[in-house]
Structures are given as structure tokens and as C-alpha cells.
Structure 1
Amino acid sequence: MSTNRRRATTWLALTGLMGAAAITGSTGTATAASAEMPVYEVRSVGRTPDEAVALQRAFGLKDVQLAEDGSVSFADESTYLRVPGLDLGAGKPDEDGAETAQTALDVEALRRLRAIPVEDATKRTLETLRGIGLLPADATPTAGQTTFEIVDANQKAVLTAPLDTAVSFAFTLDGVPLEGPGAKLRVAFDGQGAVAGLTYATRDLVKTGSVPVLGLDEGLERCAKVLGSSVRPTDVSYVYEAPPLAEKVDRLEPGFRCDGVNSDGASVQAVIVGAAVDARLPEPGPVDPPREQGSFTPQWTTRIDVGSEGTGPCSGLPWTANNLASFNNRFTAAGVPVQFSWVNQNAWERDFKDPVFPGGQDQLYADDVDMTYWQGHGSPTGFSFAGCSSNTDTFLSNNDARWGNRDVEWMSLFTCSILQGTSGGQSWATRWGRAFRGLHQINSFDTVSYHSAVHGGKFANYLVRKPFLFWNKPMKVRDAWAQASIDTQPASVRWATMGPIGGGGLANFNDYFWNKGPVGPDTLPTSGYWRISGTS
């Protein structure tokens, strides 16, 4: 039984709202109305201007951004996720003819990096928030370090350097986890102990009653219904979902967090569905007309563009279409064409497979744009199309990936465990190193990720947003991925980015999106690989 399940079961038992049959999980005697859980009313959303100023002063920040939705954020451009580099001047033009700038890793500077102890970071965060009355109730801090790793061409470890120490908070409501973009508090300290990054997005809630809920066994059945026939649920636990602050809700009801594996063995993005007896399940959107087997998009080689694909309700992910749309719409608004966007049965494995392998056609899709964004289920060795399509098969293996030999710079995979540290005796570099044939970065996760309808839009916005005075500047690609993941994922989720290292330490770790800042030249991994990873 998971910790979250034990906590919720204990709460229900102590309050007298759960019968003995439901505690044991027996479906033979438990009824749908045998238990109730609290409902929480939203009293206020986000922080006030005075509270934002209090955060700025207490943490010694030069500025903070208070968004319209009430979230507060800060990122010190000079220190946030900074990786030391050496300017090597202009590089070879990109395949689109765009100018590039060469940057090498400063290995000696990386070796000198230090981070403050997690105990010190935690203590300072708690004392500071408590001192200004902004330490949330029922919030538990966990601290960890963002790390930068280098391995050589033989995957032998060269160094692991700490970039910062981050304190992230996990929220609960009467012992039941509260998770989502609307329950985020994270403070990151640089090596000198100064705050380099801050994210604060919460609602003030008050208990206002209760609602009948299904038992956990019935919850497992509900999860199975939502996840579909291609997924085997492995665990269900009670949770409250905190949607983005921009999403106007007046109350939060209990839900089930559904975990599982699909028929390919890939880990399922965690999905939250309602636990109330009368909760409405997510409904599939309109079905797109099927793709034709011989269809293809124009091959653009002289423009900047992006593409997106993902598996949705057919793989148990109800909000994929919304998430891809948020990614597409933000780029479109910035004047960047979206060359392709396929979802559900129209998302094909062959679109990511190199043509050197039978059926592969990534030269028409995933490798024919500057950035490809994918959402679906994944594992350390690839990502899955099971339940949606089998064209040419249901699983894109790391062995089928050869990216960047045509166009793509950044492969952004919103899925699970792609960049897990070690799996099956193989490191992240061993598993995915062969994919780099001109590719600059793979952005993904070290752990299981949570399903989201807004991650893609946040990622795109951080990449292409326009500056206003001293803030809102575009972020580097890896930083944008990290921040979008911090904004949308629970503290337990670890994001990651990897890339190749060429001769002389040449690497694309500081890339911006095109026309938003410097971009490095295509680099082959002749000297090794780098990886950055951190907590959400």
C-alpha cells in the first residue's frame, strides 16, 4: 500500500467516515457511499502585491514578477541554473543558414562549483517564509541539488557538479496530497547562498463539508476505465488536484491518482480523476480524420518551425490535445509555423524513426523541424504509441532514434523516465547517445511525470516571450524546459536535459530558441555527453 493510500485511509478511519470493509479494500462489502472526504472552498487565489513585495525583501531579490493569476516568480538571469562556459566565437552556419555561436564547457570552473547544504537551504527557507507569514500550512519541504554531469565518449564519468540547492514543498490537505500547478512553492539557492529562483503559486483553502467517495478498489476500476485497455493500473491513491491559478475554480474535491504501465512496459504519465461517487470522467474530444498512409508534409529546409505529436485518450491521457494546442498556439502567436501536429491514432512511431530503419520517415516530420514536442507514455528506452497506432510499430526504441542529421535541434519529450540515470545496467548516455547526429538536446525526465494540459504552452512561452523592462526575457531551451516542469509537476518529479560534447568541449548547453539568443552549431558527441537534472 502506498504512503498516500495509507494516509488517506487513516484519515477516513479516524474521522469515522470509512467502514471497516472499505479499509480492507474488500469490494464484496464496501459500497460507493461508505466513505466521505472533505471538500475545500477557495477563499483566495495567489498572492497580493504586498505579499509579493514581502517575498522580494525577505529573500533579498532585486525584483519579482507578480502575474495576473497571482503567482509570484523570480529567476536571476546571471545565476539561475548557470553552467560555466567559454566563448569560442562564431560557428558554422546551421542547415537553415542561420548564424551560430560556439560555446565550450568550462570544466575547471565546473569542478570548482559548490552548493550550500540542503539543511541550510531548508532552514533558511522555513525561517524566511515563517517570518513574513507566508509559510503555508500542511506544506513539507524537501531539498535537493540540481546537478550537471559530464561523461566521456566511452560513458565514463568525468564530473558531477552542483548548480544550486532547491527547496520544494509537498502540500497536503488533512494528510491527503494536494498536487498540481496550483500548489507550487520552490526556492533555489546558488552556491553563495543567494536566491537564484523562486516559484510561489497557491490558493488559500478552507474545509466546507464533505462528499461521498469511492473506495480504493472501486477507484482502481475507475482508473482502468480512464486509462483504457492498453494500460494496466498498478496503483491508485487519494489526492486533491490543484489546477493552474489561471483556471478559475471555487472548490477542490478529492480525486484518484492513477499509476500504471502499458502493454509496451512503458510507465504511464500519472493521471488524476475524480474520486467522488458522482464525479464526471474526462470525455474524449472529437476524433480527427485518419491520416493517409502516403501523406506527408512539405519539406521545409530554410525556415524556422516546430512540430508536435502525442497520444491522448486512446492511451489513457485525456488532456494531450489541449497540451499540444497550447504549445502550437504559443509558437503560432510568436510567428513560428507549426509544420505538423498529430494526436491519438494519427501519431505514428515511424515519424520519429530514422529512414535507415524499415518504415522510418523522421526526415518528413520529427527531424524536419527545429523543435519537436512529444507527449505520451515512456520508459528509459523509448516511448509508446500503444492503444493508439502501430505504424510501423507501437514503440519508438532508443535504438531507432537518429536525430539531427536533417534539421531538428531540440527533441522535447514530455513523457516518463527517458533520461533516468541508470536502467538495466545502462546509463542515460549509453541509452540515448546514439540518437545525437546533429541534435543539440533531448529534454525529458529522470522520473515518472504527471499528465498536464498546460506544460507545452508554458514551455513554449518561456522560449519565445518578449522582454518587458528588466524581466520576462526568453529563457535558454534547457531552462525553459526546467521551469515549465517546475511549474506543472510535483516536487517528486525530476526533469532532465542531455546533449553532446564535441572536440575541445564544444557543447550546446546554452542554446536559446532561434532569434531569441545565441544557438550553437550542430555538434557530434566525439568527446562525450552532458546532462542537467533537478527537482520540480
Structure 2
Amino acid sequence: MSTTRRRATTWLALAGLTGAVAITGATATASATGTSAAAELPVYGVRSAGLTPDQAAALQRAFGLEDVHLAEDGSVSFADEATYLHVPGLDRGAGKPDEDGSETTLTSLDVDALSRLRAIPVEDATGKALETLRGAGLLPANATPTAAHTTFEVVGADTKPVLSAPLDTAVSFAFTLDGVPLEGPGAKLRVAFDGQGAVSGLTYSTREVVEVGRVPVLTLDEGRERCAKVLGASVRPTGVSYVYEAPPLSEKVDRLDPGFRCDGVNSDGAAVQAVIVGAAVDARLPQPGPVDPPREEGSLAPQWTNRIDVGSEGTGPCSGLPWTANNLSTFNNRFTAAGVPVQFSWVNHNAWERDFKDPVFPGGQDHLYADDVDMTYWQGHGSPTGFSFAGCSSNTDTFLSKDEARWGNKDVEWMSLFTCSILQASSGGQSWAARWGKAFRGLHQINSFDTVSYHSAVHGGKFANYLVRQPFLWWNKPMKVRDAWAQASIDTQPASVRWATMGPIGGGGLANFDDYFWNKGPVGPDTLPTGGYWRISGTS
């Protein structure tokens, strides 16, 4: 393919105004999957970012929506207040006050209504999304759709399945540039349809780019060596592939350079959050930020059980995750701005396994940290059976096992684990409920992922913002905790990533599936899983 033709094809694909099929360059495709030298890959210049007001209005009309939100960066979003991730529930009145003294509301699952839920077929949803976007002139030609149901599962106290109900049918688009994946918050298009075929949720965040040159790149074998340098000694690279990273539209970048997506496995078997590094021969590797002073062994957090607060921890460059400190800062700063204190925030070598381990186990101090705040946010490597501190610290050891988690018997309501595969549907012959059910000792929810997740510097801030933003129009209103987790994951993760939230079911079907953060909406009381467990999961 000539340079002129390739550039024209790329422009049509990314302008997304024709619905034409993108033509894939043979060299890029081979280099994305093989180990031979790619020699060079294109660099793309950004022509524009996001949609114009006229395009946003066309999108709104095409899907028959009452309103959409066009953000300053050009991204467009919509969430129907009545149907977005709606789970049928029954109001049971006031519950007993929380340990903070806050009022609670009793809500039970409406099992009959759940059993009657239906969703439109994935083929119908895909066809409807394609036809509508194409008709509006807003179908990117370099976008490939996949569709799946968002599901709500209920299991009994014995963890045996009771029911699985579809909440919607979501069509998520994956993007490529001349055959190489384009991934990130700036390459997002997702349309969710409710059971009647109406749009319940919409995310549209793209750039128009055109090839402006080419740069020499390392081979995939050389890329594996580069990934190994970034991931660190505790991680074994398992997969390296070419990729273009699409940062959030709020980042005013003028070009997209080729990169490597680095996948791996930690020394303790935990899956590694996928990390993207530059693939160009002269690309600069991520540089670790300033190192915090060592945490003192005997240091203890102040105890504030009678107030509403949050905490955060994560492993960073010591485990091959360069942006953890940035991500935790976005989480911390958003809560601080909302007047919610951050009781603790430990990163890298200062993040300790004992902070999440119950005192019934030797060395456990979760009553001083993860279980002494209302929400704890964690970022690092994980697996279906726990999460990892390998390469960073060993206090008391390098892996927090599911069997050492006893959360909510002091304060924590929501454990939000930005890591891989914690809530995987099944692993080692055990379901999500069988693995993590024992952790619920008053805990309301675990927010995490069913699949491997991708490293992010902004997920925590988006999650926090959805939780605590000030009510006005629908796009300013606070979201339920599980919805905020889902939307932050949709915003930041590729279409292949599946997010998930689980919680306990008490007597009479009482459950905290509709919790908001404190003072932002109703919150249920601490509930033990005497009746079973629920899980919601969906695609990004």
C-alpha cells in the first residue's frame, strides 16, 4: 500500500464519518503478532479531540435521548437515571445507625422482578448500535463492536446459583490504527441498551488522527526486554504486543506514538496489570517519582471510627506500575476536595500486606488501616485468590490471601480493589462467592474485576468523582458505589476488560446493592451473608 493511500485510509477510519471498513496495513498486522523486526511503525497526529456540539446533538437525536452531556474535553456521556444498571429492589424502611452514627436504609432484592428481567439479543443490540451510529455519521470505521450482557447473579449461603438476570446489553467498540490496537480512555465507544431496546448508557470519547510520519521501533523480542525493565524483578513478562495508547481527551496530546503492551505474572502467581511503554527505539521509559521516606514499623494510623473517611494503598514502580502514586493522588484529592478526610495513603515499599489482614491472623492490622475507614482503595497486582505486594514489601508477607480477609467487623463498607481477576467467575473449581464470601463480616461490597485490568493514572479520581460530585443535572448527580466503579472502569479500561462488584445477602433478602457513598444517597446497614451473595459484572 502506498503512503498516500495508507494515510487516506487512516483518515477515513479515524474521522469516523463514513462507516467505511478500515484497510489494514500488512506490515503493521504482521508486526503486531509476530516476533520479526517491525522496522518502523506510523506516528499519528491529532487533528481534533472529541465531538463538536453539532455532532453531540446528532448523537442525541439519533438515539432518541432526552439529553447528553458534552464535556469540555469533547467526550460525550449519557446515563438514564431510571434504567442505567438498574437492579429491582424493595424499600424496607429505616435500619439501625452505622458505627459512624449515620442513618441507614433497608433494601431487599426483588427476586421475582429479577427473574422476569429480559435483555435484547446481542445481535440486535450490535445491529442497532451500528445502524444508528452510521446514520448519524458517527461510526468510526476503525472500530469493531462486541456485545455482551451485564448480569446480576444471586447465589445462596451455600454459594450454589439461585438466578442470573441480564440488566442490559452493552455494545463496546475496540479500536485499531492500521491494524494495531488503539487502547485507553481516549478510544472509548460503548452503548448499553435496556430490556426494551432503549439506550440506558452511552460513552463516546475519540480523537481524529492522521499519519504524519514513521519511527523506528524495537522488535517484539526487544520489547520483551524493555517490558522486563519496567515490570521489575518480581514480574515475568508473558506477552508483549504493539499498541497505541489513547490518553484521556483532557490530556491535550498532539500525537500518538507506537507502544508495547506489557503483560506478565508476578512471582506469587498474581496477574500483572497491563502496562504500556514506548516502542520507538529512542522512547523514554517511565520514570519513578520521588521515593517516600520509609514507613516506621511501629507507626499506627489515628483511629477515627466515628467519622466518615477513606484510605488508599498501592504498589508502584517497585512492582512495575509506574502511575500508582498518580492514581492514588487523584482518588485522595477528589475526596479531600469534597471534605472527606484521607486517613492513610501508602505507596510502593510503604504499602503493607498486614494493613489488609485481620488481627486474628499473626501480624494482621486491618483494624488500624483498611478496616478503620469507610472505603479503602487499592491498586496493584492481583489474582482470584488475593493481591500481591511482591517486589515492594513483606510486612507480614507478600500476598494478602482471600482467607486472611475479614472486612467490615470494624468500619469499612466498601473495599475497592483496582487489581486483576479478584472477582473472576470461577477459579480452581471455586466461584467468586466461594472464594471471597468469608471476607464479608459487615462489609457491604467488594469492587474489582472479573478479568485482568489495565494500569491507569486516572481511575481512582474518576471513581471518587462519580461518588461525591454535587447534585444538579444527571451528569452531576452522585452515582451508586457499584455504578461509580462500573463507569470509572468503562471510562479507563479496554472493551475486553470485565468489571465486577459483589456483596452479601442477609435475612429476608436484605442487601446493599444500591449503596451510595455516605451523605450522597441511601446506604444500607452492615449485613452478614446469612442469605447468600450477589454479583454484578459487565464489559468496559
TM-score tier, shorter chain, comes to over 0.9
Once the two structures are superposed, what CA deviation does each residue of 1:236-263 show, in whole Å capped at 9, x if it has no partner?
A: 0000000000011000010000000011
CA distance in 1, matches of 2:130, 2:185: 21
CA distance in 2, matches of 1:301, 1:433: 24
CA distance in 2, matches of 1:24, 1:81: 40
Q: How many matched pairs?
A: 517
Gaps of 5+ in 2: 1-23
* Equivalent residue letter for 2:465: N
Relative distance call for 1:463 and 1:14 in structure 2 (3 A) is: closer
Once the two structures are superposed, what CA deviation does each residue of 1:48-76 show, in whole Å capped at 9, x if it has no partner?
A: 01111111111011110000110000000
1:176 is displaced (CA, Å) by 0.4
Once the two structures are superposed, what CA deviation does each residue of 1:148-197 show, in whole Å capped at 9, x if it has no partner?
A: 00000001100000000000000000110000000000000000110000
Q: 2:51 is matched with which residue?
A: 47
Quick check: 1:146–1:165 contact (8 Å CA) kept in 2? Answer: yes
1:13 is displaced (CA, Å) by 3.6
Quick check: 2:309–2:342 contact (8 Å CA) kept in 1? Answer: yes
Q: How does 1:415-434 map to 2 (within 5 A)?
A: 415-434=419-438
Match of 2:378 among 374, 379, 397: 374
Question: Is 1:385–2:395 an aligned residue pair?
Answer: no
Q: Percent of aligned positions with the same letter in both sequences?
A: 85
Q: Which moved more, 1:53-62 or 1:437-446?
A: 53-62
Match of 2:407 among 403, 414, 422: 403
1:301 is displaced (CA, Å) by 1.2
Question: Is 1:187–2:191 an aligned residue pair?
Answer: yes
SS in 2 for 1:323: helix
Q: 2:154 is matched with which residue?
A: 150
**RMSD (Å) for aligned C-alpha atoms:** 1.4
CA distance in 2, matches of 1:477, 1:63: 23
1:231 is displaced (CA, Å) by 0.2
CA distance in 2, matches of 1:529, 1:456: 26
CA distance in 2, matches of 1:158, 1:107: 10
Quick check: 1:455–1:485 contact (8 Å CA) kept in 2? Answer: yes
* Equivalent residue letter for 2:35: G
Question: Is 1:25–2:35 an aligned residue pair?
Answer: yes
Quick check: 2:28–2:179 contact (8 Å CA) kept in 1? Answer: no
Quick check: 2:28–2:178 contact (8 Å CA) kept in 1? Answer: no
CA distance in 1, matches of 2:159, 2:34: 48
Question: Is 1:230–2:229 an aligned residue pair?
Answer: no
Once the two structures are superposed, what CA deviation does each residue of 1:320-364 show, in whole Å capped at 9, x if it has no partner?
A: 000000000000000000000000000000000000000000000
Once the two structures are superposed, what CA deviation does each residue of 1:290-325 show, in whole Å capped at 9, x if it has no partner?
A: 110000011001110000000000000000000000
Q: 2:339 is matched with which residue?
A: 335
Quick check: 1:188–1:196 contact (8 Å CA) kept in 2? Answer: yes
CA distance in 1, matches of 2:346, 2:28: 48
CA distance in 2, matches of 1:103, 1:24: 53
SS in 2 for 1:459: helix
Match of 2:96 among 75, 92, 96: 92
Quick check: 1:496–1:534 contact (8 Å CA) kept in 2? Answer: yes
Question: Is 1:498–2:508 an aligned residue pair?
Answer: no
Once the two structures are superposed, what CA deviation does each residue of 1:107-132 show, in whole Å capped at 9, x if it has no partner?
A: 00000000000011000100101001
Q: How does 1:248-397 map to 2 (within 5 A)?
A: 248-397=252-401
Quick check: 1:319–1:453 contact (8 Å CA) kept in 2? Answer: yes
CA distance in 1, matches of 2:70, 2:95: 39
Relative distance call for 1:14 and 1:221 in structure 2 (3 A) is: closer
Quick check: 1:183–1:203 contact (8 Å CA) kept in 2? Answer: yes
1:14 is displaced (CA, Å) by 7.5
Q: How does 1:164-203 map to 2 (within 5 A)?
A: 164-203=168-207
Gaps of 5+ in 1: 1-9
Match of 1:535 among 529, 536, 539: 539
Quick check: 1:12–1:35 contact (8 Å CA) kept in 2? Answer: no
CA distance in 2, matches of 1:105, 1:45: 42
Off by >4 Å, runs of 4+ in structure 1: none
1:470 is displaced (CA, Å) by 4.5
SS in 2 for 1:223: helix
Superposition TM-score, scaled by structure 1 size = 0.95
SS in 1 for 2:115: helix
* Equivalent residue letter for 1:304: I
Quick check: 2:480–2:517 contact (8 Å CA) kept in 1? Answer: yes
Match of 2:492 among 488, 501, 515: 488
Q: 1:5 is matched with which residue?
A: none
SS in 2 for 1:93: coil
Superposition TM-score, scaled by structure 2 size = 0.94
CA distance in 1, matches of 2:241, 2:483: 32
CA distance in 2, matches of 1:24, 1:314: 30
Relative distance call for 1:362 and 1:470 in structure 2 (3 A) is: closer
